[in-house]
Amino acid sequence: MKESGPKAEAVWSDFSQTWFTLMHSTRPFIFRDYQELADHCAASFECVRDIVVASHVIGRMGVDTLDDPLSDRYKRIGCSIAPLDKDSDDYKMILNYVEKTYEPVKVADTEYGISVDNIFSVETKEGPSFDEVKKLTNKRLLWCGTRSSNLLRHLHKSFLPASCSLPVPGYMFGKGIVCSDVVAEAARYGFTAVDQPEGFLVLAVFSQGEEIIELKNPPEDTKQFQEKKVCVKGLGRKKPDESEFIDWKDDIKVPCGRLIPSEHNNSPLEYNQYTVYDPKQVCMKFLVGVKFEEKDAVINTED
pLDDT tens by residue, 70-102? 787 788 888 888 999 999 999 999 999 999 999
Predicted model pTM: 0.77
Q: What are the Cα distances from residue 255, in Å, to 114, 152, 247, 283?
A: 19, 27, 9, 17
Q: What is the pLDDT of residue 107?
A: 67
Q: Residue 62 corresponds to which amino acid?
A: G
Nearest Cα residue to 150 out of 51, 279, 73: 51
Residues 6+ apart with CB under 8 A from 219: 167, 173
Q: Report pLDDT digits (tens) over 44-77.
A: 787 787 788 777 777 766 666 666 777 877 888 8
Residue 234, classified by CB atoms within 10 Å of its CB into exposed (0-12), middle (13-18) or buried (19+), is buried
Backbone dihedral angles phi then psi of residue 209, each to the nearest 5 degrees? 75, -170
Nearest Cα residue to 196 out of 289, 262, 266: 289
Helix residue ranges per DSSP H, 24-83: 34-37, 43-58, 69-77
Three-state DSSP at 199 gives: strand
**Total residues found in the chain within this entry:** 303
Q: What is the pLDDT of residue 18?
A: 92
Nearest Cα residue to 164 out of 286, 262, 52, 34: 34
Q: Is the pLDDT of residue 105 over 80?
A: no
Start-to-end CA distance of the chain, whole Å, equals 56
- Binning pLDDT at 50, 70 and 90, where does residue 297 land? low
Q: Report pLDDT digits (tens) over 183-220.
A: 988 887 765 566 677 888 999 999 998 889 998 887 77
Q: How many helices (DSSP H) and strands (DSSP E) are in the chain? A: 9, 14
Nearest Cα residue to 210 out of 129, 136, 284, 280: 136
When computed from its CA atoms, the radius of gyration of the chain, rounded to whole angstroms, is 20
